[in-house]
Chains A and B, each alone.
Chain A
Amino acid sequence: MAELRIEGLSKRFDGIPILEGIDLLVESGALLAILGMSGGGKTTLLRLIAGFERPDHGTIAIDGVVVDSASTHTRPEQRRIGYLTQEGGLFPHMTVEQNIGFGLQKRADRTARIAHMMELVGLPALYARRFPHQLSGGEQQRTALARALAPEPRLILLDEPFSAIDAALRREIRRSVLAILKAVGATAVLVTHDQDEALSMGDRVAVLRGGRIAQHDRPSELYRNPVDLAMGQFVGESVLLEGQAHGGRIQSPLGILNCTQRIDGPVRVLLRPEQVRLVPPATPGSVAADITGIQYFGSDVLVALRLADATPIAARIFSHDLLQSQGRVGVMVVGTVSAFATSKTARHLAQQLAG
Chain B
Amino acid sequence: MRGRLPLTLVLLAAIPALLVATLVVATVADAMRSGAAHMLHEFLGATVIRLLFNTLSLMVAASLLAMVVGTAAAFLVVRTDVPLRPLWQALGAAPLAVPAFIASYAWVSLSPHFEKFGGALLVTTCAYFPLVYLPVAASLKRMDPMQEDMARILGTSPIGGFLRVVLPQLRPAVLGGGALVALRALTEFGAFAMMRFQTFTTQIYLVYTAGLTGSVASALALVLLVLCIVVLAGYVLLEGGRSYASVGRGTARVATVYHLGMWRLPALVFLVLLALASVGVPLGMTVYWLTQHGAAAVTPAEVSAHALLGATWTSVKLGVGGAIFTSALILPLAMLVSRWPGRRMVTWLSQVPWLAQGLPGIVIALSFITVTIRLVPWLYQSTLLLIVAYAILFMPFALVGIQSALVQSPPLLEEIGRGLGHGWFGVLRRVTLPLAMPGIGAAAALVLTSIVSELTATLLLAPLGTETLAMRVWENTSALAFASAAPYAAILIGISMVTSWFTASRFGVTAHGAAIGS
- On whether the beta carbons of B146 and A85 are closer than 8 Å, the reply is yes
A140 to B150, CA, bound (A): 15
Within 8 A of A (CB), among B224-278: 244-251
B152: nearest chain-A partner, CB-CB:
A76
Residue of A nearest to B156 (CB): A77
Interface members, chain A 249-274 (any B CB < 8 Å): none
A52-B149, A52-B153, A83-B150 known; 18 new pairs, CB 8 Å cut-off, are A50-B149, A75-B152, A76-B153, A77-B154, A77-B157, A79-B153, A85-B150, A89-B144, A89-B146, A89-B248, A91-B147, A92-B169, A92-B246, A93-B244, A102-B164, A132-B247, A140-B248, A147-B154
Could you tell me the distance in whole angstroms from the C-beta of A136 to the nearest C-beta in chain B? Answer: 11
In the complex, whether B151 has a CB less than 8 A from a CB of chain A is yes
A123 → chain B closest CB, angstroms: 15
Pick from A90, A105, A147, A151: contact of B247, CB under 8 Å: A90
Contact assessment for A102 and B151 in the assembled complex, using a CB-CB cutoff below 8 Å? yes
* Complex-state Cα separation, A301 to B492, whole angstroms: 76
A residues in contact (CB < 8 Å) with B: 47, 50-52, 75-83, 85-93, 102-103, 105, 132-133, 140, 147-148, 151, 164
> Cβ of B247: which chain A residues have Cβ within 8 Å of it?
87-88, 90, 92, 132-133, 140
In the assembled complex, which residues on chain A have CB atoms less than 8 Å from the CB atom of B146?
A: 85, 87, 89
The CA of A89 and the CA of B247, in the complex, are separated in Å by 7
In the bound complex, residues from chain A placing their C-beta under 8 Å from that of B165 are 91
Which single member of B153, B156, B168, B250 contacts A81 (CB below 8 Å)?
B153
Q: Which of A75, A80, A87, A148 contacts B248 (CB 8 A)?
A: A87
Offer 21 A-B interface pairs, CB within 8 angstroms, sorted by A: A51-B153, A52-B149, A77-B154, A77-B155, A77-B156, A77-B157, A83-B149, A85-B150, A87-B144, A87-B251, A88-B248, A90-B247, A91-B147, A92-B245, A92-B247, A102-B151, A102-B156, A102-B164, A103-B156, A105-B156, A133-B247
CA–CA, A83 to B144, complex, Å? 15
> CB-CB < 8 A to A133: which residues of B?
245, 247
Point out residues on B near A: beta carbons under 8 Å: 144, 146-147, 149-157, 164-165, 168-169, 171, 244-251
Given the complex, which residues of A lie within 8 Å of B152, measured CB to CB? 52, 75-77
Kindly provide the distance from the CB of B173 to the nearest chain A CB, expressed in whole angstroms. 13
Top 10 closest pairs, chain A to chain B, by CB:
A87-B248, A103-B154, A89-B146, A76-B152, A89-B150, A132-B247, A92-B244, A83-B153, A133-B245, A93-B244
Chain B hits for A79, CB < 8 A: 153
Q: Please, which residues of chain A bring their CB within 8 A of the CB of B157?
A: 75, 77
Give chain B residues whose Cβ lies under 8 Å from the Cβ of A83.
Answer: 149-150, 153
A76 surroundings in chain B (CB, below 8 A): 149, 152-153
Interchain CB contact under 8 A, A89 and B149? yes
